[in-house]
Amino acid sequence: MHTYELDFHDWIEEQATLLKTGQLARLDVPHLILELESMSARERRELINRLAVLLALLLKWQYQPERRCTSWRLTINEQRRQLALLLDDNPSLAKRIAEFLPRSYQNATRAALDETGFLKSPFPADCVYSIAEVMDEGYWPAE
């Protein structure tokens, strides 16, 4: 039996084979639980990070109108599409997106502040965009 610590790839293949062949008693249940929980956490982190990137872009769009360009517009829409794909693949995360919005917004304001070069944050303390606005390819703040 391959060990989780020595050869992760082999361990995964072995666990898959054991599941496919119904050899459930031979499964490495403690490590399978760890990996499943890790996968779930990764999906949540990806949602939080993608949402933060999108929010930072929307903040820059709103607060630096003189710098708006086609590249920004394309990047915002690409982030919206990627976020929509992530939510389509993970409907349970879509139900929790409002829960992750404050954390994402906090990360977004820090990133936007760094990227804009503003000495003091002009951004509201709480997110003023609704989830529907954030996801809507027709929504452009302050336009």
Per-residue pLDDT at 11? 94
What does each of the 143 residues of the chain score in pLDDT, given as a tens digit? 568 888 999 999 999 999 999 999 999 999 999 999 999 999 999 999 999 999 999 999 999 999 999 999 999 999 999 999 999 999 999 999 999 999 999 999 999 999 999 999 999 999 999 999 999 999 999 86
Per-residue pLDDT at 54? 98
Per-residue pLDDT at 100? 96
Per-residue pLDDT at 5? 86
Per-residue pLDDT at 85? 96
Print the SS3 string covering the chain.
CCCCCCCHHHHHHHHHHHHHCCCHHHCCHHHHHHHHHHHHHHHHHHHHHHHHHHHHHHHHHHHCHHHCCHHHHHHHHHHHHHHHHHHHHCHHHHCCHHHHHHHHHHHHHHHHHHHHCCCCCCCCCCCCCCHHHHHCCCCCCCC
Per-residue pLDDT at 32? 96
